[in-house]
Amino acid sequence: MRLDKFICKSTALTKAQAIAHIEEGDIKVNGNVISDISAQVHENNEVIFLGKQLFPRPFRYLLMNKPAQTICSNIDEVYPSLFNYIDIERPQELHIVGRLDADTTGLVLITDDGRWSFNITSPNKLCPKVYRVHLRKSIDISAKILFAKGIKLQGEPQLTAPAILTIVDDKQVLLTITEGKFHQVKRMFASIGNKVVGLHRESIGCVTLDVDEGQWRYLTVDEINDLNP
């Protein structure tokens, strides 16, 4: 963790205040004054601020059912931020793990643990995400083979990783992917001549959506560990 972030996570200081104290030489790490705000601090390091050892607050892990026409951002933009639905202290310290488009609904994970979120979003970790997809046109069963082999997206040099397509009815499918490319689900169906008209994420790894739209809860210890073994 960066030193400035460690200070913010261990005190009530703002980022600007933490940076000022670091640059003024008020922080010691393992007995040495550190003035580099980007210096990395690890769990076993001793961090002293004005003579007092600092201990970071525990990480937080949330699940939310994202409503449509909200954005995965900490601030309002063209659409309101989904953080408007979350009543929690220090929301500015949190970030979204794998963003959804404004018109996409469903499961969103939120945390302040950067290492945990990276291990979920990294394609190398092969974390499955399941989407319920509503299509404009009927889908042929042959699409299952295409998705299993990988889809050529416009502008991408390589095929997508193999995906699992489960047909619910002629215009509704469940799609399981392990990547998170830009607009990936919509682009995959566009590449076979169809259009996504509704998109809802139902699960990420072992975690399944189980709260109403606009609601959230903390993840259980088992869910946290299972998502990031």
Span 120-149, pLDDT tens digits: 998 888 899 999 999 999 999 999 999 999
In this prediction the pTM is: 0.86
**pLDDT exceeds cutoff 90 at 155:** no
pLDDT value of position 23: 94
Average pLDDT value for the chain: 94
Residue 87 annotated as catalytic: no
Distance CA 57, CA 54 (A): 10
pLDDT value of position 219: 97
58-125+209-229 to CATH, choices 3.20.20.370, 3.30.70.580, 3.30.70.330, 3.40.640.10: 3.30.70.580
* Bridge partners for 66 per DSSP: 106
Q: Which residues of 3-39 are buried (b: 16+ CB within 10 A; e: fewer)?
A: bbbbbbbbbebeeeebbebbeeebbbbeeeebeebeb
- The pLDDT confidence band at residue 90, using thresholds 50, 70 and 90, is confident
Q: Are 131 and 199 in contact (CB under 8 A)?
A: yes
Q: Which CATH superfamily does the domain covering 128-204 fall into?
A: Alpha-L RNA-binding motif (3.30.70.1560)
Domain boundaries, the chain: 3-53, 58-125+209-229, 128-204
| Topology annotation, domain 3-53 | 3.10.290
The Cα angle at residue 127 between residues 125 and 128, in degrees rounded to 5: 150
User: Mean pLDDT, to the nearest integer, of 101-125?
Assistant: 92
Q: Which one is predicted more confidently, 229 or 136?
A: 136
**pLDDT exceeds cutoff 70 at 229:** no
Percentage of residues in the chain with pLDDT exceeding 90? 80
User: Mean pLDDT, to the nearest integer, of 70-94?
Assistant: 92
pLDDT value of position 122: 87
From the list 4, 76, 87, 101, the catalytic residue is 101
- The pLDDT confidence band at residue 46, using thresholds 50, 70 and 90, is very high
Alpha helices in the chain (DSSP H): 3-10, 15-23, 114-121, 143-149, 184-190, 221-227
Say if strands 27-29 and 47-49 run parallel, antiparallel, or are unpaired: antiparallel
Distance CA 118, CA 222 (A): 18
